[in-house]
Every structure is written in C-alpha cells, then in structure tokens.
Structure 1
Amino acid sequence: MSNPALSRRAMMRTIAGASVLALGLTACSELDDPEQDGGQATGPGGANGRRFGAEWEKHTRTFMSWPASEDVWGDQLDDVRKDIAGLAAAIGAREPVVLMARPDQEEAAQQACGNDVEVIPLAVDDLWARDTAPIFVEEGGKVKGVDFNFSGWGNKQEHANDAKVSRALLAKYGLDRVETPIVAEGGSFETDGQGTLVLTESSVVNANRNPGMSRDQVEQELKKALGVTKVIWLAGVKGKDITDAHVDCLMRFVAPGVVLLDKAFPGTPADVWSRSADQAKSVLKDATDARGKKIEVIELSQPDPDRITGRGDAFVSSYMNFYIGAKGVYLPRFGDAKADDRAKQIMKDHFPDREIVQVKIDAIASGGGGIHCATHDQPAIG
C-alpha cells in the first residue's frame, strides 16, 4: 500500500458504512426484471434514454490494471502483482480480460497472467481499475463511457497516468465519451440496473472532489450522466481512508430490490465504521428503489479477524468487494473457513447459474481494496 495514513480502507475489522441521508426526488415507471441468466434488463433508461446497467448483466470484457509503481506499493509490489495475476487468470478462464500495463511492463505482466488474459500497453499508476476506467452506460443501442475525471481520490495519490485511462480506453475501443463536471470513482456507485443508484455522500459531495457543489447539484448531474432516476444517499465517512468511504465495501445489489450489507464480526468492539453500517441497515430496510419497491437487506458478517491470513491496519476483510462476472462470481477467501464457506453459500443462493470462485487476495486487501476495486466490467448489448 502507498501510505498507511492514506490507505484505501483504514480499518481491518470493520468497513466504511453510512446512514442514508436522503432519497432521490423522482421515481421511474415500473421496469421489467432482468433475465435470470444474467442478460440485459429490458426496462427503459432515464429521461435521456441512458441506462446504467447492473453488474450481473452480459459483459463484453473485464478491465484490470497492472500495479506499476514501487513509490505506491514499496516492498509489497511483488506480492500484489501475484494477487492481480491470479485474479486476472481466474476471470480470464471464464470471460475476456483486458489488463492495462505500462509498455515497459507489458511483457512481464503477460507472462505472469498467462494466455487467457490480453495485456495491452497503456500507462497506469496503480491497480484500481474500478475507479479509473469509465462508467459504462447504454444509450441508443450503443455502449458509451462516462468519464468521471479521476483525480487520485482528491489528489491523495499520484495519478498522472490513471487520470488518462478513461479517455484512452474509450478511444481504443471506439466508444463515445460522455463528459460530466463531476469528479468521482467507479467504487462510489452501486446500481440495480433499473434506475436506482446508491452512493456515499462523503466520497462525492466533498471539497476534495467537487468543491462548491451541493448534494442536490451533484445528484442532478449524476442522474443526467448515468440515466438513473432515484438516488439513495449514504452519509459515508470523510477522511478515514483514501476513498472517503466508497460504497462497494459496504453494500452491493445482488438482484433488483435485494442488497447484501456488510456486518462486523460478532463481538468486535463498536466503532465509527460498525455504527455507520448499523445506520445503513436501519434506513435501507425501509427504503424503496426506483420502482417503488422495498429493498430487502441481507447481512453478511466479516470473518474472524483472528483467523484470517492477511494482516495490516488497512486490511479489508469485507466480503462485499466481490465481482460478478459473466460465468463466475469472484469472492475473497480470507482464511476463516467457516466464514468463507458461509459467504460462498450466500453467493450461490443468489447466483445459482454462476460458479463461485474464491480467490486469495491478501496483498490487495492489505492495501485497502478488494476484488471489485481491481476489476471493471464493460457491458454488452444484445
């Protein structure tokens, strides 16, 4: 990890949670459910015909990034590269993976990842493709990419190359670029693919990203950029980690109207993170989505911190940071066999047609992130 004081997640045993402060002002009309096999949802987009799809829908490819800099990772660089290579190979065995690497590191990255992964020469600074790649939306029968102006989480880390990733990927694959004045990252957002957006206020309505903008102003820009019709705001936590508390370690949609919510390991002393997660639960269970339907909340406890194999003040032991691939769901394996097995079964209950692939990512997690942070899906149309 680059700097323990600026870790992506500051706590080992609990994660960034938040209470819902406000709900979006408008609701969309009733939408159809997505196909059970992970196909495209059939409901319309927002007022501009744009739609931000759910992660379980069809993918064209998965983007990842090769960790590039000793200045960021220090003596952990070799270990985190092994984790990224293992994760890329696991996903690549089941769907196309494109891994971005600095030109002088391309050959080494290809050798480490194997032939199931396509490595392309594209300068990056770090591995967090979720935050640096564009947010893909569907509009007019085409996939477009919203460029959210990556700023190194508010200029907390070097990002001269990562700031250009979104534009470079869109140009390479011939996709239209959607401009927005908002500064944000992919880990900020969670959607059901049917008009609902959940995010933390702390990571977007923040002077280090969008100075001078109110939450209402940010919300209107997000609706315009992403085509969502309802925004559920989670308060988040400012200044405790480099992301200012992204949503993707707290809660995730696993189906329209159904979310998984992180929960601290039983008996863990309460702190700001666990109290925030409790607040999120108290509001989400009474919230409604863009279709006007109540949201079901299912808690998933973290593993026993005394049984996990990873260590460090920044270690993220939340199961929420999983990735829903085309044929598999990629879930961290932390070393607490009982907790790992329970998490796997919960995922199997919600994704019976996908293989649940557990991946050891101790080096990535020690840097304050997880599998979702390191991956970014490009949706397919048709």
Structure 2
Amino acid sequence: MRTAVINRRRFLAGSMAGAAGAGALSIAGGPGMAQDGCRVPPEEAPHQLTFMQWPVTPEVYGTGRYRRQVQNQIARIANTVAAFEPVIMLAAPEDHARARRKLSGSVELWDIPADDLWCRDSGPLFGRGGNGKLSVRQLNFNGWGRYNLPNDERIAARVAERLGLPLFDSGITGEAGGAEADGHGLLMANESSWVNSNRNPGLGRTEIEVALLAAYGADRLIWGKGVKGQDVTDDHIDGLARFTGDSRVLMMLAETPVTDDPFDASARQLQRRLLDAGLQVDTLPWPEAGRIRDPDSQCSYVNFYVCNGGVIAPQSGDKRTDALATEALRRHYPGRELVMLDTDLLAELGGGIHCATQQMPA
C-alpha cells in the first residue's frame, strides 16, 4: 500500500541549479491556437514512431555504474517498443557510440542533445489537423519549475525544426505528463502541476484551462486537486489515472483509504469527479509485496505506453497485483500484445515507461 509520498528524482535534490525559464526560442502561434483545428490524438491511435531521450546528466546519474544501469533500462524499453514501431532516440553526438552498443538496429539515433530521460515531459507533443497534417504543441518545459535542463527545454523545438513542422506555443508552462487526453475532446489534469507559481505564476485555473484545451484541441477538462511540493512533478496525472478509450479510465487507488496521505485523498476526490462526469473508472491497487520496498518509490501500473499493436507496462514483482494489472490491461486493450517489464529503476526515480516515451501520430 502506498503510505508515503513519492520523492521523484530525489537524486536531484540540492544538486542542480534552479530552473530556467522557457528559453529564448522563437515560437509561432499562441494561446489562441485552437483555431488551427488540431487535436492531440489518443495514444492508442496509430503511430509513425516513438521518441525517447538518452539520459546522461552527471548531476543526476553520476558517470559510472548507476548511469549505465539507467541507460540499460532506457535501452531495454526502446528495444521493446522497437519490436512494434520505429523508435528515435535523442542524444548528443558524443553519446551515440555508447548508446548504439545498447540499442537494437531498429532504434535510430538523432543528433538532438538530451539531459534526462523524461521524453513525455520535454519531448514533442503532436497535434493533427483535419487535413491530417501534424504540428508540435509547445508546453514550454522548464524542469518542473525546479531544475535547469537546458537541452531538454529545447527538445520540442528542435524536433519540430528537424521535421519541418509548425511549432505552436501554448502560452503556459508545463509537461505532457501533467495532462491526460482521451483524443475525443476530454482532458484530465491535477491542478498542482499547472496552477503553480513554479510554472505559471500569476495565472489562474481558468486561464490555464483555456490554454490547455487549446493546446490539445479538447473541449472540456476534469481537474483533480493533486498535491503540491511533495514530489518533483507536483503529482503528475499520468502516474495516477489514464484514459484507455472514449469515456474510460484506469487509475491507481489503494484498496482501502490511507489515513493522512494527501495523495490518496486527492486520488479519491478525482475518482468521484470522474464518476460524476459519467466516465467508466476501473482501479488497480498499489503493489504491497513487490521488489521495491521503499514506500516513496511505488510502481504505478498505469504508467504504461500504448504503441502499434502493443502495450508496454511495468511489472512490480507482486504476483497478486501484477496479475490484476495484466488482466485489466488486456481487458482495456484487447487485441494488443501485452509486455510487462521490470522498470524498478524508473519507479525509484518516480516515473515509468509512459514518462520515458512520446508518440508521433501517423
């Protein structure tokens, strides 16, 4: 049972400079960009490929064994996804040789430098217009309002430039891991990740909601409260609840209420709001007997990634909850091959497979 707060990327604590702003990138568009008719498609829609990032930041991972272990973890995820669809790994040229030795031939390396591995947050978010053309929606990643990751702050713009795609500025600061879209006009997000002075000082929930709906081409947003300041992401939604189809949600929820746990209280409030909105909500329990014994580093089964023909999901080592997750994911994604991976290293960093991937729609 999850009885303590997640301390995501705790290895960063006190080791890096304060977050920079969104940078001096020249970006077209603005908060009125919904008028371009683009919508971010559902993750289960067909992909052209998957983007990932090669983690190298010594302040986080050092330069020795631990960094190699994390890179091995990212390579394993990339190689697994590459069995279903092409994968592009973003890395500085001086890191290509080392990465190439770990990656399968189905993974292509691009010369776009990355600092850390969290491509869901810093990578390109794609929208598709009614004419089928793609654009990149700039959410202005700023290191979760805490850390200076200069390469990661520029990844979305650099990918858009390389692909020759329009880049539209949402007018707000945040991360795609902090918003979940069903691709049919509905979003959900935790206020703590957006209505927060470390990302959007001076902006209220209504202003941020308008900008998010425009960025995703969505019609309405269901807010959860979330929890500020207890983990680096301020309680990202993608580790808590995911759309698995139109009006269908799968979320993590302790089997009984956890006293004095703000994360549990926020999750139960979100569940009520989703049910009140008429959505089908299935829940999965947090593992209690998995390989990770640190209550600050629990495995979230909903931190999975849907790719062409497959679902890549974390496996905790708790036989009972792993079996429940397997059954639920097969039920929510019939006809897709389910692959469960040991991603304990990412869980210990406060993330998972979804956090490390970003899809480019077909």
Counterpart for residue 362 of structure 1: 344
Mean Cα displacement is larger for which, 214-223 or 370-379?
Answer: 214-223
DSSP-derived class of the 1:197 partner: strand
1:257 and 2:247 correspond? yes
| TM-superposed deviation, 1:69 | 1.5
Aligned residues of 2:9 and 2:232 also touching (Cα < 8 A): no
| 1:21 alignment counterpart | none
For residue 297 of structure 1, the aligned residue among 281, 301, 307 is 281
Question: Post-superposition shift, 1:3?
Answer: 3.1
Q: Aligned equivalents of 2:293 and 2:136: distance in 1?
A: 36
Q: Give me the whole-angstrom Cα distance separating, in 1, the residues matched to 2:271 and 2:311.
A: 24
Are residue 309 (structure 1) and residue 291 (structure 2) matched?
yes
CA distance in 1 between counterparts of 2:92 and 2:55 reads 9
Question: If the length of structure 2 is used for normalisation, what is the TM-score?
Answer: 0.88
**Deviation, structure 1 residue 269:** 5.4
Match of 1:145 among 125, 136, 142: 136
What is the CA-CA distance between 1:94 and the residue it aligns to?
Answer: 1.1
Aligned to 1:214: 204
Q: Cα–Cα, structure 1 residues 172 and 47, in superposed 2: closer, same or farther, change >3 Å?
A: closer
Task: Give the counterpart letter for 1:351 in structure 2.
Answer: Y
Q: Deviations over 1:191-245 (max 9, x none)?
A: 1111101111111111111110111111112222221111111111110111111
What are structure 1's unaligned runs of at least 5 residues? 8-44, 288-293
Aligned Cα root-mean-square deviation (Å): 1.9
| Alignment match, 2:190 | 200
Q: Select between 271-280 and 71-80 the one with higher mean Cα deviation.
A: 71-80
Unmatched runs of 5 consecutive residues or more in structure 2: 1-7, 15-32
Letter in 2 for 1:72: V
Identity across the alignment (%): 37
Q: Is the 8 A contact 2:314 2:342 kept in 1?
A: yes
**Is residue 229 from structure 1 mapped to residue 219 from structure 2 by the alignment?**
yes
Matched position secondary structure for 1:302:
coil
Counterpart residue identity of residue 63, structure 1:
F
* Structure 2: distance between partners of 1:199 and 1:269: 24
Identify the range of structure 1 (321-330 vs 270-279) with the bigger mean alpha-carbon deviation: 270-279
8 Å Cα contact 2:48/2:360 also seen in 1 = yes
Q: Structure 1 residues 162, 119: CA separation in 2 closer, same or farther (over 3 Å shift)?
A: same
| Distance of aligned partners of 1:311 and 1:4 in 2 relative to their CA distance in 1, 3 Å threshold | farther
1:59 aligns with 2:47: yes
Could you tell me which residue of structure 1 aligns to residue 3 of structure 2?
Answer: none
Matched, 1:97 2:87: yes
SS class of match (2:354): coil
Shift in CA distance, 172/215, structure 1 to aligned 2, threshold 3 Å = same
CA distance, structure 2, for counterparts of residue 6 and residue 330 of structure 1: 30
> What is the match of residue 29 of structure 2?
none
Partners of 2:274 and 2:148 lie apart in 1 by 35
Q: What residue identity is the alignment partner of 1:91?
A: V
Residue type at the aligned position of 2:187: L
Partners of 1:51 and 1:231 lie apart in 2 by 14
Higher relative contact order (CA 8 A, sep 6+): 1
TM-score (norm 1): 0.83
Give, in whole Å, the separation in 1 of the partners of 2:296 and 2:90. 25
Question: By how many angstroms is 1:79 displaced?
Answer: 1.6
What SS does the corresponding residue of 2:184 show, helix, strand or coil? coil
Give, in angstroms, the shift of residue 284 of structure 1. Answer: 1.2
Q: 1:244 aligns with which of 234, 239, 251?
A: 234
